[in-house]
Structure 1
Amino acid sequence: MSDPVIEAHDLGIQFNKGRRKQRKLREMFIFRGKNRRTPAATTDFWALRHLDFSIQHGEAVGLIGSNGTGKSTLLRLIAGVLTPDEGSVVCRGKVAPLLELSAGFSGDLTGRENVQIVAAMHGLSSQQIRSKFDEIVDYAEIGDFIDTPVRHYSSGMKVRLGFAVITQLEHPVLLVDEALAVGDRKFREKCYATIEGMLAQGRTLVLVSHSDADLRRFCKRGIYLRGGQLITDGPVEDALDTYHDFAKV
């Protein structure tokens, strides 16, 4: 059997309430403008600790848990935009991150300019961007607004454009963080069909969602996190049952 696409050993990351953890340059660009204020009080805590798991090529795995249990942090560790404080996580393949879909957009630049910058940031060459540009615009359904500064876009338009860019990546690993919960119903169904097409190509998916229906639709396996710890790793129904059982307590 080949090496796992994603592999974590004794993985942990510590944060400080009140002082932001120093981030990689890539994350500062992707998530710029987030959490600028620094509270006065400081308290160390482990957002994730002692995580051990592996994900094979072509698997679709759902990360399950309440808000604040470390799901999004784990995706950022896998993507390489955060560095663990202990243990390790390896991702053997380029990542298509459907995390904050409009992150990295500059409000002062047009949609066209933002597409070029964000696509280049994710590794597309100038020639690839030119060849895929019309398809990106058509997918996003924003028409003539492509040459309008993004600050004039609605939140839905930003999301559609961000999703359209990411879906043009041919990277083998998809990291999706609640991206399917946004937009109108018609666009969500379009997103669903796109994700299903990517999975049919044999890509690997790690999905964070609070929707049981979405988790069941895309994932056969579930990892349930609670308090930064891995509680259940198995069939998605088992992970969901454990999650709901804890929620009743």
Structure 2
Amino acid sequence: MMSSAFLVCKVRHNVSLSPCHATEPRVGIDQDLTEQLMRYSEPLQGVILSFSNVQLDRPYGAIVNEMPFIHCKVLADALVFQPQVGMQLRGIVNKIGSNHIGMLFAGIFNGSVAEAELPKGFVHNYAQDCWLGEDGSTISVEDEVDVKVLRVHVAGGMIAIEGTMRFANVRVVTPSSVKKIKKATHLNLEAGESITKSNKEKKVKKRKEVYVEEATHTNDKKKHKKRKLVEDGVEKEEEVVVVKPKKHKEKDAKKKKHKKDKQD
């Protein structure tokens, strides 16, 4: 029968508020309680996951000697993960080793089962990266397994659970999720090549031909040309101003007179 390692405990916690939290004590209390989360608590014999119903035990705090901190007591409900020896927990396998399997309990806490504690008849299969039983059953990554707690190791505020699967009615569940289906591949036997058809059509960037239209407006001194460009479906209109060179009337008159003199 599965056991629940989660329980709610009434706790009384001592908090030392700094002077900056004198006007907003709740902010200082929340910061202090947050530092206790996801760490092993010796008095509670488990890992604190969250606090709720937080309130002051007394409306006033105390200042001890010449210390600037305000000492107060806080009452709260703590959600604790408290695994005990003999409990049956359900974990998800996340590692297959040659002499053990690794798993996570509640998606957070590490656990392991040594080769000697696996069900009888299971051997490690290198090719399939799993543990294979005599009846064809397997233990692979992402499988759900039932484990009985043998020992709980505590180090640096973290816990690691050591378990066994040698008990009656051991349950191993393989996830029903199917791997993503690959795109269909059609073989060209004559050419000896594989041709993969894609549902998405290849995007081809079409480039329109560039053409120029010129419209000429004639004045006495300036000539205006309008040029229209169409490129890549974007229409641009540019105005080009062409300056007509000035004619020097005096020089032309002298040249004509000079020619007449030569002819005479």
TM range (shorter): under 0.3
Which has more strand, going by share of residues? 2
TM-score (norm 1): 0.19
TM-score (norm 2): 0.19
Quick check: which has more Rg, 1 or 2? 2
Structure number with greater CO (CA < 8 Å, separation at least 6) is 1
